[in-house]
Amino acid sequence: MRLAPLTSKDSTLVFRALLQAFAFPGRVAQLPPHLVARMPALSLPLLALTDIETSFCAPDEPELEGEIATITSARISNSRDAQFVMHRDVPSREFVIGLGRGTSFRPELGARMVLAWNAPFDANIEVGLGGPGVVPGSSLRVGHDLVEFLAVRAEVNAQPPAGIDCWLVSTNGEVVGLPRTTQIQMQPTSATAGRN
């Protein structure tokens, strides 16, 4: 087993990092390094946030999915009903479109997605960020595959307050929050593939 239950203190530390990431979209927060050293950073948000009353899925990480369910007692569900979704690879357009978005009256039912973020290793595109909590001029470096995901994300968040919230988590525990309120503008920079 690669995962272990979080103590309430560690759980709080993870929660604070995720909260910080959502409070300042685009700004990199750090998951607790001592936890990142022990287990996959991608799994930490689910270990901290899921419990017996929540549903989740991790379709491309079945082993971790089973471990998280055992540790947290959270229910494994299909992606449409999952409150939390963990994905190692960038998910397909159909997958994202099919996630629960909640409704105008129950926006809290929208899925929260934890997605692996490979920056800065293959991030060669810089996108601009806007919306509540975003410091003006903020940007985020992402890879080509994530750009496609961000476009689909914009589609599913087109009818606020329904939508999905995302955390991008790197292997070394860096986390960037992209709540549904954050708008993303594609912008060419010196680091983009087009310039290079």
Partner 1 sequence: MGYVSARGGLDAIRAAESLVRTKRLVSESNWLEEDQILDKLRLLVDRVMSEAGLWDPRLASKAIRQSEGDATEAVHLLRAYRSTLPRFAYSEAIDADDATVMRRIVPAFQRVPGNQLLGRSVDYTARFLERTGDDDAREEAEKLRAAQTEESRDIEPASEEIAPRRLMELLREMDMLVDRRLEDDPEPFDITRTPARPPAPRSALLSSMARADTGALVNQWYRNILGPDGYLHEVTLGEVRHANMPLNVRHPVTGETVTIMQVRVSEVEAIEDLEGVEEDRSRFDVGYGLCFGHNERKAIAMANLDIACHRDAGRTQLEQSLLLTTDALDSAGFLEHLKLPHYVTFRSMIERKIAVRKARQRRDA
Binding site for partner 1 (CB under 8 A): 8, 11-12, 15, 48-53, 72-73
CB of 104 to partner 1, least distance (A): 18
Residue type, 28: V
What the block records as the tokens of 141 is: 């470096």
CB of 75 to partner 1, least distance (A): 12
Q: What is the CA radius of gyration of the chain?
A: 16
CB of 68 to partner 1, least distance (A): 11
CB of 53 to partner 1, least distance (A): 6
CB of 181 to partner 1, least distance (A): 14
DSSP 47: H
User: Which lies closer to partner 1 via its Cβ, residue 11 or residue 182?
Assistant: 11
Q: Are 127 and 110 in contact (CB under 8 A)?
A: no
The total of other beta-carbon atoms located within 10 Å of residue 45's CB is 23
Listed residue (39, 4, 32) closest to 17, CA to CA: 32
Listed residue (113, 93, 111) closest to 101, CA to CA: 111
User: Which lies closer to partner 1 via its Cβ, residue 8 or residue 190?
Assistant: 8
Residue type, 55: S
CB of 32 to partner 1, least distance (A): 14
User: Which lies closer to partner 1 via its Cβ, residue 46 or residue 85?
Assistant: 46
User: Which lies closer to partner 1 via its Cβ, residue 15 or residue 139?
Assistant: 15
Residue 4 Ramachandran class (φ > 0 left, ψ -120 to 50 alpha, else beta): beta
User: Which lies closer to partner 1 via its Cβ, residue 49 or residue 164?
Assistant: 49
The stretches of 133-195 forming alpha helices (DSSP H) are: 144-156
CA angle 56, 93, 152 (to 5 degrees): 95
User: Which lies closer to partner 1 via its Cβ, residue 53 or residue 94?
Assistant: 53
